[in-house]
């Protein structure tokens, strides 16, 4: 029995007989999955408990800390605050899909280079959020600290990065190094 089917068996044993279940098909890190879930299952719990990808972390489970940030169809969202069943057909990328130990994503490498973490619990969410944030800035999206929201070009200053990353909390307060790592990548100076 695989770990996945073992877990599904245990989950089904704990379910009330009358609880509804729904089929959801989605792609996670390029791999297609079809799973049957209770509609209460968050996307975060689907990733961690059903797909067994535990890189995505559960912090507050209320969308406030950002530890569970993943990319859905290229956009960063908090996976705790969305139902798995609502993501049928979606393309999910988690920290495991960004890079591997042998081929790190530039942001993963920059976080190591800049020592942008202590305990590391928020790091997968920080990195997935930064990937989404850099794409938003590339698309010219303004932020709360952009002086003129009508501007067509955004310069990712430290102030801009701090504002745009404010949805990711770091309990160890590694913020200065997180900003530095993201700046290295945004300015193309990462090793």
Partner 1 sequence: MKSFTYERVTDPRTACAAAAARPDSRFISGGTNLIDLMRLEIERPAHLIDVSRLPLTAIEELPQGQLRIGASARNSDTAANPIVRTRYPVLSEALLAGASGQLRNKASVGGNLLQRTRCHYFYDTASDCNKRQAGAGCAALHGANRNHAILGATESCIATHPSDMAVALTALGATMSLLSPESTTRTVPIGEFYRLPGTTPHVENNLAANELITAVTVPPPPSGRQRYRKVRDRASYEFALVSVAVILATEADTITDARVAFGGVAHMPWRSTEAEAALTGRPAIPSTYQAAADIAMESAVGRGENDFKIDLARNTLRRTLADVAAMTDRRPS
# of chain residues touching partner 1 (CB under 8 A): 45
For residue 177, state whether it binds partner 1 (rule: CB under 8 A).
no
Regarding 69 and contact with partner 1 (CB under 8 A), the answer is yes
164 scored as a contact of partner 1 (CB under 8 A): yes
Instruction: Candidates 3, 30, 62, 189: give the one binding partner 1 (CB under 8 A).
Output: 62
The reply on whether position 12 binds partner 1 by CB under 8 A is no
Q: Which stretch binds partner 1 (CB under 8 A): 3-11, 45-53, 148-156, 183-191?
A: 148-156
What would the DSSP string read from start to end of 115-176? T--SS-TTHHHHHHHHHHHHHHHHTT---TT-S-TT-S-----HHHHHHHTTT---TT--HH
Residue 13 in the binding site for partner 1 (CB under 8 A): no
Specify the 3-state DSSP secondary structure of 34: strand
Specify burial of residue 14 (Cβ count, 10 A radius: 0-12, 13-18, 19+).
exposed
In angstroms, give the least distance from the CB of 54 to partner 1: 20
How many CB atoms within 10 Å of residue 89?
9
CB-based contacts of 185, cutoff 8 Å, min separation 6: 106, 107, 110, 130, 134
Contact pick of 10, 14, 16, 153 for partner 1 (by CB under 8 A):
16
Residue 178 tokens read as 């997180």
* Residue 82 vs 94, nearer CB to partner 1: 82
- Our finding on whether 78 is near partner 1 (CB under 8 A) is yes
Residues facing 75 on adjacent strands: 72
From CA 19, how far away is CA 5, in angstroms rounded? 19
Contacts with partner 1, residue ranges (CB under 8 A): 16, 18-20, 22, 38-40, 42, 61-63, 66, 69, 75-78, 81-83, 85-86, 88, 129, 132-133, 136, 139-144, 146, 148-150, 162-168
């Amino acid at each position: 029995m695989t770990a996945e089917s073992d877990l599904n068996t245990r989950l089904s044993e704990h379910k009330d007989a009358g609880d509804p279940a729904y089929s959801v098909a989605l792609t996670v890190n390029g791999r297609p999955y079809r799973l049957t879930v209770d509609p209460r299952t968050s996307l975060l719990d689907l990733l961690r408990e059903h797909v067994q990808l535990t890189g995505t972390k559960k912090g507050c489970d209320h969308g406030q800390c950002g530890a569970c940030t993943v990319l859905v169809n290229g956009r960063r969202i908090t996976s705790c605050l969305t139902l798995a069943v609502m993501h049928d057909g979606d393309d999910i990328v988690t920290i495991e899909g960004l890079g591997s130990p042998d081929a790190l994503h530039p942001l993963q490498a920059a976080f190591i280079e800049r020592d942008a973490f202590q305990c590391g619990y928020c790091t997968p969410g920080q990195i997935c959020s930064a990937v989404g944030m850099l794409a938003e800035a590339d698309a010219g999206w303004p932020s709360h600290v952009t002086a003129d929201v009508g501007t067509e070009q955004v310069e990712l200053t430290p102030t801009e990065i701090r504002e745009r990353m404010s949805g990711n909390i770091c309990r160890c307060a590694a913020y200065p190094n997180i900003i530095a790592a993201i700046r290295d990548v945004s300015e193309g100076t990462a090793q």
